[in-house]
Structure 1
Amino acid sequence: MIKNVIVGIDPGTTTAIAILDIEGKLLYLHSKRDWKREEIIKAILSFGRPIIIATDVNPPPKSVEKLASSFGCKIFYPEISFSVLEKQELVKAFVYKAKNEHEIDALAACVKAWKRYRSFFTRVSYLLSKKDASELFEEVIKKLLKEGKENVESIVEKMTRKREEPEERVEKPKEKGEKVLEEKEKKLEQAKKELEILTRVLSKRKAELLTYKRIKLSLEELEKCRKELEELKRANNILKRFERIRMKKFEPLVELESINSLELEKLDKLLGLENRVVYCNSLSNANVLNNFGIRALVTECEEEINVANLEFPVIKIEKEFIQDVDGVKCVKEDKLESLLAEVRKSGLIKWLENYRKRKENY
């Protein structure tokens, strides 16, 4: 069984070590020049585990503090550095074993620490032996020294009760690694399943999207057909009104806001512009009407127009002769015929005049 020991240190060029057990028995006393720290630790551990590291001076040397810290134990030092007489009194029982002042200093510190805590050690040892827990001596002593607890009985009771509680199973590194690996494999398997589900869902969504696109396309085509049907219905309605108007001896007019190729193509497709009379008060681009074989262009516009390039007559009419029948602008047939005759006659006269002028020039 490893002993619990008290160590006295006198550091310096020549370092001295004194070691006592908790019963005050001197186990080791030695000094050495240029003693390395590793060798000091090895020498101490060869006799036991230190619970107190002691020095004879205040403040304690840094090297002693570091040594106590490395062992995780309490450092003991006097309130006032020991005098020579005090040292001699402390070591008188062992003085014959000390070879120099360094060893006396180390031994004095060690004995002083032992005397300070002797009754304390005895009390703890007694209480632990009663509970058959002597192996806890070092742990209890270190706790009491570290925390400065005065109620020894309560600490011993607490420490022994803790020992009796079932220990939590500590997983071995191998078991822990296997458990982590097993958990990762489970997560990977779960991820694969989720990926399969997502793949199926995605495939289904793609099919739904394709169906939606087809439906959307069908709906767009249907909407287009619906609009075309509505236009055809409107055109059919207009054509019916045209027929009713003709039965009343009126000529229906195809009304235009302006002369536009696209609009004319649309009207030609729906109503058929060939041999129809067109009404428009904007004469720009009038030559575009040549492409549709209209019967005549009726206008209220006073603007002069060059009819030389037109393949249809242009009839300028007063507003009073244009009537509205069944929502359609129209002109009485006889009035239209008389106006056409005048235009043709006027055109013929102009042609004859131009012909004579050309002949005279020859």
Structure 2
Amino acid sequence: MKIFGIDVIRGSVRSRSRRPAYALITMEKGTVTSESEVSLYRLQRRLAAEEPDILAVDSLQEVAADQHDLFTFIQALPPGTRLVQVTGGERKETLQKVAARYNISVSKTDPYAEARAAAFIASSGGGAEVIAFENSCDIVVSRHRSIGKGGWSQNRYTRKIHGAVLRQGREVESALSDAGLKYEKKEYPAFGGASRVQFRVFASRDMVPVRSSRGTDVQVRISGRRLDRIRFKPLSGKPRYLIAGIDPGTTIGIAAVDLDGNLMHLISSRQMTMSDVIEELYRVGKPLIVASDVHQMPFSVEKIRRAFNAVAYTPRQDRSIEEKWELTKAYGTSNDHERDALSAALDAYRQYRNKFQNISKRVPPGIDLDEVRAGVIRGKSLELILGSREEAVLPASPAVPETEMPPSPVDERVMELDGLVKRLRGYIDDLSADGKKKDEEIERLTRLCTRLKSEDEGRMRRDVEVVRRDAIIRSQKNMLRKAEKRSKKLHRQVSRLKRFADLQMNGDHIPVKVLDSLTRDAVRSLDEDLGINEGDIIAAAKTDGWGRSVLEFLHSAKIRVIITGTGEKQVHDGQLLLACSELELPCIPAAGLDLRIRGRTGTVPRVRLEEALLRWESDFEAYRREKKTEMLESIFREYRSEREREVRRHG
């Protein structure tokens, strides 16, 4: 199998000034045969000339700027070449993470290393094939040059071209019939033959015995029928190994993590049967380990484990709620059942994590770590697993007959070495005697340490329970203080809401929500206390520190109006008025409104507010007309300057 692995060195397919340059790695039968730097045009020429089985990339954005370009790129590939994204399909991962699964280290700054890793992963069956076309294609036989206006020989020239199109169409039809392919044909008769012959073949491009070509008079184009959207098909049909945690009961919780500890699936349901649980896990992958959060595995979990022939894991003792929270605090769980299932899966992964890390250090690069881990978990030795894989990959080498070496004559050098060996053996005996004495001393000191340790453990056992209960008391006190603070805050908020609701009952006055300042923190605080809803009237005591993001938030909340300058120092900000006018957000001064404020709420007379809003609308219409006038004048000035430049250019 020939595989091309590529990665961008510089440039981008989206750039018009810097076209991309790729690091190209060619691999045959698991061995890298060449490394080179190619442009996109040169890459397509190499693909057409060598027709590799796989083109491996870590991201489709390296070869196509958008979906239309991706269809065009795949259409230009040889029929037998598959485009493979090694980082996955719909759910992508980083190249470094995928490479680590095959025990390959990749440098982010080395394009050749990334291209080499992509080729290795694709050769090992990793990644997903990009599917862009249906299992059918179109063949179009047409004229390659125009018949033109012509002269005395136009009729002969036209008959020649149309006859060539008709002959080529019959040759294509004959090739499709000989291959036993189902097709539909449509001819467009013309003077002397046919101007166009179309075939719809119900087979993929690699099965069609015809290739795109261009001749003097005739051209043949083959194009696949595009899918509505790009699909991804795993290059290897093997499911991923999982560690599944299950919490049985009326509501069953299911959690699945991969062998690297990444959460793959988390769900809970009251309506799932045993077969539904097995089907749900099959959709995610293949459970290698089925875990429970209690020491005695429940019978229903044991049945699921047997269905997958998985390894069972249970803790030495039932896990407490505190331990489960500690395990799952980095993840979001919807209920206790999901928490228990996830804690069981993570506890099993934590138990095997050191063994997995040790395996990754001993496995050579390019081998699927998950397969090796699965074999070790099931009881096989690492040497046996690696040996069986090497026997499957490497061909058996021919046996070499052993040749007997002639006896070498004994010389003086050998006798000297024999004497040296005897002296060293005597020295070893002396060291062994010293070692025995030291072992006796170590044993005496060990007995002394054991006696002292037992005395200390007796004192510690008496204090452990006291320390544990003190910790529980401190935790409960902290929780109580937090609950009291929250209760006081909610009481204050309820009283403010009641007061605001009473204000809404007055028909002559309209309730107002008051901001300390027109800042993001003040708006957030008001939203948490009283809420900012559609049609609210907001009054700001100070406008210092206002920002456009605050105005955009209030505009998106669809408030009715902003009243500014309600404090002692009433300053009307022109920039604020301009920003509000651009957002079509009413902004009026507090002067003359008879605004009454009490804490975070207040009231304003309905009549005066409506009069102020009418004045603002009048000013806003004038502002809008002024902006339109400025825009027309700007367009006119630009047009006039352009005309002047054209006059100067053409004289």
Structure possessing the higher relative contact order (Cα contacts under 8 Å, 6 or more residues apart)? 1
Same fold (TM over 0.5): no
TM-score of the two chains, using structure 2 as the length reference: 0.23
TM-score under structure 1 normalisation? 0.41
- Rg larger in structure: 1
